[in-house]
A and B are shown apart, each in its own frame.
Chain A
Amino acid sequence: MSVQVPSIYTIEIIYRGIHQRHLARNLARGIAYAARIAGSVALSYQRYGDDPERDGSPAKYFVVIAKGASEEVLDAEAARVEPDYVDVSIVLDDSILKGVESWAWQGIQPVHLKLRAGGLLIVVSKRSPDELIKFIPTRDSPYTLVVVYGERSIGDFWTFPDDGTVERILGAIAKVLPNVLSLNDVKKYLENLDKPNERISRALEAYQSLVKLREVKPGEGLPYKYEPPHLPGWKDMMIGGAIPGLRPNQRNPYFTGGTAKHYRPVINFDKCIKCSLCWEYCPDSVFDVTPDGYFNPVLAYCKGCGICAEVCPVPDTIIMVDEMEFEDGYGKFIDEYKAWKEGREAYRKWFESLLPKAQIISVRKR
């Protein structure tokens, strides 16, 4: 008897914790269901270390599929923390392209860390592949960037905005990976759900017109080299799980939390009345007090909650702007106060250009 090694496809889904938790699960399960309905075997799992999920924190699901094989083909993939490589990475929120920080000491990982050479990076975004590539770190190997046109889908723990994102991504998979899921497979799956016609038409729409591809060559993208952490051995660690603490006013050097943000605060220092409320109400101690009494957000540690903008008493003084408006990240961020100090006029113009793009803050203030 000869043993045939079947082709196993591993799909990674990267999403924002809680906001996209139902979306990611529905998509992961949907792919697994669709594959099984099509006669393949498939399983799915969450990266356990991301659980308990935190609002905003990038988290991962994985789906493993084998075409026309028996269940035991998946045995080696059935009890993993995460796979060694993925064939496809689906990013549900384009601001996640700016990095994934999962645990302390692992640093900020490029979004395509696990992507196999020649793999597909599928991103839900309203931006073009050429625009997105500026945010994605370079690689030594080529890959294909696939953009599925769509709004960022945001829900919460108790609500799922069933806005067609799952169906659009399934349609996109049928388009770019017909050997994994054909359009017919996707349709057959969606027929099992409620509102099947509406769902199928969304998948079709994506299949026909919402997908854009771009081949990315080695070296293309944001210059950022990820260094995998060196973890100390047992002889070098303090016993009893003890570790050295921080010094006062020292932010954690081994974990930032900053990849949790999809919006960031931008400060109009010209209008700031130095009331200190932003500093006071920041749960992440992000604001540095400047020598002249302003409050400067250290964006590497900012999770983008937006409380500072909400509590700011002066309209349009702290605005929350989509992360994708800023070509920085991976630990290095704009120093807003420094930029303002160095050129107030340039800063004012920049701020004004961002103002129309700012997130709507509480109705109460506008």
Chain B
Amino acid sequence: MSVSALESKRLDAVLKGDEEVEVVGTGTDAVAYALMLADIDVTSAYPIRPYGGVMQTVARLIADGYMKAEYIVAAHEHDQFEIVKHASAVGARTFVGSSGVGWLLAIEAIVAISTDRYPVVALIGNRALDDPGAYGVEHNDALMVRDVGWLLTWVDTAQEALDTTLIAYRVAEDPSVMLPVGISMDGAFLTHSEHAFKIPPKSKVQKFLPPYDLGNRKLHPSNVISVAPQVNEDWVTELRKQMDEAMKNARKVIEEAYRDFAKIFGRDYGNPFIETYMVEDADVVMVGMGTVSKPIKEAVRRLRAKGEKVGFLRIRWFRPFPTEDIIRYLSGVKVVAVVDRDYSFGSPFDGGAVFTEIRSALYEAEHRPLMMNFIGGLGGREITYNDAINMFNMALNAARKGKVEQRVIWYGVRE
């Protein structure tokens, strides 16, 4: 199967011309086109739903000559991630990805990628963890690496997926960052749904994305170095401190990248770290990551139409965490309701991971809001705008009473 004639024409246009073109495709297709534009050198594949679609498209693009990269089918995810780690070490721009338990199988290599400071970009097609063998969306797979030096971002449209992939390389490869980026995408709702999005021309991408340069860390006979020798207690603290600093540097680099992106491509995402929707005068703000934004925004519109002061805040970059923005937008709100498509069993308030982080960030807020947490949409269960309206109503009720009666609600769980 080759890329359709229509798409061929449009791909030729972006590779040769100066104008962007519109195509219809899945979220994973959008990432694949970004990889073509970023001229990646090496990628490795291993099948697992829902991430796998990206590699099918990449394979087609390579087979048809739209992109040139070493395409390696691995033995399993650990193999897959080690392959790109070492390709990155000799100076190749790389792409990799996985989902759910596949991502977890690779976790040893995933950690080594960040500790060795290789700017690998990965797609995580979010998927619930086994057992039982599950395949619907859940964010716990990506969240498993939240503490080990991976930049983590959640996208909610195909367009954002494409744009964020280009931005991810720019940020990851920045000399002051040199950390990998994980782009999370909700399984099914984005990986497998077809939307229209625009592919920018390669000529502009080259202006935005400088070549990958490892500098004095490039592994090559002309640069004799040893990478990651066995280390004792004399040195580990310093190596981790370097990563801490790099993660903090990333905040500034992300801002610069979005600013340049808007300038070069004409698409402005505003605040790079979060997306806000009618939060300015809101009494109740719902917070979420990924495609849950869509039904929640619809609920906001419907409730606003009835005069309810509600809003929505989407976290785009989870690592580095947008602490300042969270405080700025949520301090003084009456009730903050976090929708977690994940769980963190036994966490401080038995809520989800995002809830716990936001609660922690808001400890510094001048006016701490009341907080509620909805655990919802697990294992690919949908969250409709009616569900979101229900959640808002519970939060509005708490706002009126000035009191949260049930802090964590497993939304829709069958009794």
Interface residues of A (CB under 8 A from B): 49, 81, 103, 105, 231-234, 237-247
Contact = CB atoms under 8 A, between A and B. Distances in A.
Given A239-B246, A240-B115, A240-B217, A245 B234 contact: no
Contacts of B233: 49, 81
B241 A234 contact: yes
B116 interface: yes
22 contacts: A231-B234, A234-B237, A234-B238, A237-B238, A237-B239, A238-B217, A239-B117, A239-B217, A239-B242, A239-B246, A240-B115, A241-B116, A241-B228, A241-B231, A242-B216, A242-B217, A242-B228, A243-B229, A244-B224, A244-B225, A245-B225, A246-B224
A234 B242 contact: yes
Contact of A238 (B216, B241, B245): B216
Interface of B: 115-118, 178, 216-217, 224-229, 231-235, 237-239, 241-242, 245-246
A103 B234 CA distance: 10
Contacts of A239: 117, 178, 217, 242, 246
A237 B225 contact: no
A360 to B, nearest CB: 36
A168 B245 CA distance: 55
A105 B227 contact: no
A237 B239 CA distance: 8
Contacts of B237: 234
A17 B412 CA distance: 62
A105 B234 contact: yes
B238 A241 contact: no
Query: Chain A at the B interface: mostly helix, strand, loop or mixed?
Result: loop
A103, A242, A245 pick with most chain B CB within 10 angstroms: A242
B239 A242 contact: no
Given A81-B233, A241-B116, 9 more contacts: A231-B234, A231-B235, A234-B238, A237-B238, A238-B217, A238-B225, A239-B117, A241-B231, A243-B226
A232, A233, A241 pick with most chain B CB within 10 angstroms: A241
Nearest to B175: A239
Contacts of A243: 225-226, 229
A237 B118 CA distance: 16
Contacts of A245: 224-226
Contacts of A81: 233
B238 A242 contact: no
Closest 5 CB pairs of A and B: A240-B117, A245-B224, A234-B238, A241-B228, A234-B241
A287 B277 CA distance: 73
Given A49-B232, A103-B232, A241 B225 contact: no
B115, B178, B225, B245 pick with most chain A CB within 10 angstroms: B225
A247 B224 CA distance: 8
Nearest to A236: B238
B154 to A, nearest CB: 26
A105 B234 CA distance: 10
Contacts of B217: 238-240, 242
Nearest to A244: B225
A247 B238 CA distance: 26
A351 B235 CA distance: 45
A49 B235 CA distance: 13
A241 B227 contact: yes
